[in-house]
C-alpha cells in the first residue's frame, strides 16, 4: 500500500540511502534530492537492486530555493521530509566554517519555508550526539545538557535544532522529530549499499575496512591514555540499518499519530559503550581479518566517552537497535569486499 511520498534530502548518502530502502519497504514512495557533493548517483542502482524500486532522483542543492520549489511543484503529494543533506566532517568544519553554516543552515531554512508553502506535514531532522559534547554521565539521555559545540559542524546541529523548535513554537503547521545519532556503522546485509567516504576516511570503520583490505597501510588509534578501561575512547556504534528503521518509525509517528507532540527528540544508540580497541578486536574476530594498527597521539576535539540511553526511542517509537556488533562488522567488511570486486576501491 502507498503510505504517501517522502522527500529524502541527501538520499544518496550513507544513512540516507539505507533509510530510502527502509521507507520503500514500509510502503512509502520516495523522492531523493542530492547535490552529489559527497555521494554518487550509482547508489540509486544499489537501492533498486535491494528494493526493486528506483526512487525518483533530482540532482540539486537544497540551498537553491528555485530548485526546491520546482521539486515540490513537480511532486505535489510530498507528506514528509527526512533531511540528511548537510556537510558532516568535524575536521573539515574547523577549516571551512562558513561553508558549514551556509550549507547546513540554509538547507534547513529553505526546507522549512517549503513545508509551510506546500503543506508538508512533518520533518525528521538528522542530528547528532555531538550536541552533548563530553557528557557529564553516560549513558546519555535526551535530558542531558547541551554543551557548547566544539566544532562548527556540531554547532550547526545545535542551531538547526533551535531553528526547528522556534519555527514550530511560532505556530508552523507541521511537526518535527529530531534524531540524535551516536556512531552509525556497518552496511546493508546485501552489500549493495554502504559507507563510501571521499578520499582518506575520517571515521573509524571505513578506515578499519580499508586497512583490512590493504588500501591503507595501518590504522592509527588516536590515543590509549584516556581514563577508560583500555585507555581508548568509548563510543556507541549503532548499525546503520537499525538506525534507518528508526527514521521510518519517526515518520509513521508524525503522520499517523495526531496526538504526538509537535516536536520530539530521540537518542538513537544501542545503549552499549564500546572502546576503539574493543571494536578492532570485534572486527578481527568477526571477520578473521587482522587490522594492523599503531597507537598515536590523541585527535584534537575527540570526546573521551559517549554512549546513549535509547529507552525513550525504545518505548515511544517501538524501536530497538539490536543487531549484534559482530554482524555489523561483517556487513562493513562484506561491503568493502564488494567495492574491491567492482574495482571501485
Q: Which of 92, 328, 345, 344 is nearest to 216 (CA)?
A: 345
Q: Are 261 and 316 in contact (CB under 8 A)?
A: no
Contact 290, 215 (CB under 8 A): no
Q: Spell out the residues 6+ positions from residue 71 whose beta carbon is closer than 8 angstroms to its own.
A: 7, 31, 33, 58, 60
- Is residue 207 among the annotated active site residues? no
Minimum distance from CB of 276 to ligand WQD (Å)?
A: 5
Secondary structure class of 343 (helix, strand, coil): coil
Q: How many helices (H) and strands (E) does the chain have?
A: 11, 13
Least gap, CB of 182 to ligand WQD (angstroms): 8
Site for ligand WQD, rule CB under 6 A: 88, 90, 128, 130, 181, 183, 202-204, 207, 219-222, 233, 235, 276, 299, 302
Spot the catalytic one: 14, 28, 153, 226: 153
Q: How far is the CB of 130 from ligand WQD (least distance, A)?
A: 4
**Phi (first) and psi of residue 177, to 5 degrees:** -120, 125
Mapped onto helix, strand or coil, the DSSP state of residue 6 is: strand
Beta carbon nearer to ligand WQD, 16 or 175: 16
β-pair partners for 296: 222
Q: Where are the alpha helices (DSSP H) in the chain?
A: 14-25, 43-51, 65-74, 90-95, 97-118, 152-169, 204-212, 240-256, 276-287, 311-317, 325-341
> CA-CA distance, 198 to 210, in Å (whole number)?
12
- Closer CB to ligand WQD, residue 120 or residue 265? 265
Tell me the catalytic residues: 153
Amino acid at each position: 500500500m502507498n503510505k504517501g511520498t517522502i522527500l529524502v534530502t541527501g538520499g544518496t548518502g550513507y544513512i540516507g540511502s539505507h533509510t530510502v530502502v527502509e521507507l520503500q519497504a514500509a510502503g512509502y514512495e520516495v523522492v531523493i534530492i542530492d547535490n552529489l557533493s559527497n555521494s554518487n548517483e550509482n547508489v540509486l542502482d544499489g537501492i533498486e537492486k535491494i528494493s526493486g524500486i528506483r526512487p525518483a532522483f533530482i540532482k540539486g542543492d537544497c540551498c537553491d530555493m528555485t530548485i526546491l520549489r520546482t521539486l515540490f511543484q513537480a511532486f505535489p503529494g510530498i507528506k514528509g521530509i527526512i533531511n540528511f543533506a548537510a556537510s558532516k566532517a568535524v575536521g573539515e568544519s574547523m577549516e571551512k566554517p562558513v561553508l558549514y553554516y551556509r550549507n547546513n543552515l540554509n538547507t534547513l531554512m529553505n526546507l522549512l519555508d517549503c513545508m509551510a508553502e506546500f503543506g508538508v506535514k512533518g520533518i525528521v531532522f538528522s542530528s547528532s550526539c555531538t550536541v552533548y559534547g563530553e557528557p557529564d554521565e553516560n549513558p546519555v539521555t535526551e535530558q542531558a545538557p547541551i554543551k557548547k559545540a566544539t566544532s562548527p559542524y556540531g554547532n550547526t546541529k545545535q542551531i538547526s535544532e533551535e531553528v526547528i523548535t522556534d519555527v514550530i513554537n511560532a505556530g508552523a503547521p507541521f511537526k518535527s522529530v529530531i534524531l540524535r545519532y551516536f556512531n552509525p556503522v556497518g552496511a546493508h546485509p546485501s552489500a549493495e549499499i554502504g559507507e563510501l567516504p571521499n578520499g582518506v576516511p575520517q571515521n573509524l570503520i571505513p578506515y578499519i575496512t580499508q586497512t583490512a583490505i590493504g588500501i591503507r597501510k595501518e590504522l592509527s588509534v588516536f590515543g590509549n591514555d584516556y581514563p577508560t578501561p583500555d585507555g581508548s575512547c568509548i563510543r556507541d556504534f549503532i548499525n546503520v540499518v537499525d538506525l534507518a528503521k528508526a527514521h521510518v518509525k519517526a515518520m509513521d509517528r508524525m503522520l499517523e499519530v495526531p496526538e504526538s507532540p509537535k516536536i520530539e527528540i530521540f537518542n538513537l544508540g544501542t545503549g552499549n559503550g564500546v572502546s576503539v580497541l574493543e571494536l578492532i578486536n570485534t572486527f578481527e574476530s568477526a571477520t578473521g581479518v587482522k587490522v594492523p594498527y599503531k597507537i598515536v597521539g590523541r585527535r584534537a576535539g575527540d570526546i573521551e566517552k559517549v554512549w546513549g540511553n535509547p529507552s525513550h526511542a525504545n518505548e515511544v517509537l517501538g524501536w530497538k537497535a539490536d543487531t549484534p556488533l559482530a554482524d555489523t562488522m561483517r556487513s562493513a567488511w562484506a561491503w568493502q569486499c564488494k567495492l574491491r570486486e567492482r574495482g571501485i576501491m
